Amino acid sequence: MWTSDLTYLWTDEGWLYLAVVLDLFNREVIGWSIKPRMTADLVTDALRMAWFRRRPANGVLHHSDRGSQYASHAFQRELARFGMACSMSRKGN
């Protein structure tokens, strides 16, 4: 099972947004992306990095919140392309 989340960081150049993908089996960060905008490509790039580093078998469960980036068509297409199952928190969690 993999999980993802994003956060923001203050830098000398302003705010940057960081998305990470964790492998919950060994608690290892397996994918990440940093961008100046919090768009769908932020989380999609982190997912791609994780997939290319691990190349898991089909059926890996990917859990995230219901943020617009994770619910986007682009991110959901990548999950389907990689044969991953989507899991999201309930509304308000």
Q: Is residue 92's pLDDT more than 90?
A: no
Q: Which domains does the chain have, with CATH numbers?
A: 2-88 (3.30.420.10)
Q: Which percentage of the chain shows pLDDT scores above 90?
A: 94
Exposed, middle or buried, 58 (CB in 10 Å: 0-12/13-18/19+)?
exposed
User: For residue 56, what pLDDT is reported?
Assistant: 94
- What is the chain's Cα-based Rg? 13
E strands, the chain, in order:
2-11, 14-23, 28-35, 61-64, 85-88
- pTM for the whole thing? 0.91
DSSP state of 90: P
**Residue 9 pLDDT class (50, 70, 90 cuts):** very high
Nearest CA among 90, 92, 80, 82 for reference residue 30: 82
Q: Is residue 48's pLDDT more than 80?
A: yes
User: For residue 91, what pLDDT is reported?
Assistant: 73
User: For residue 90, what pLDDT is reported?
Assistant: 74
CA 25/CA 63 separation, integer angstroms: 13
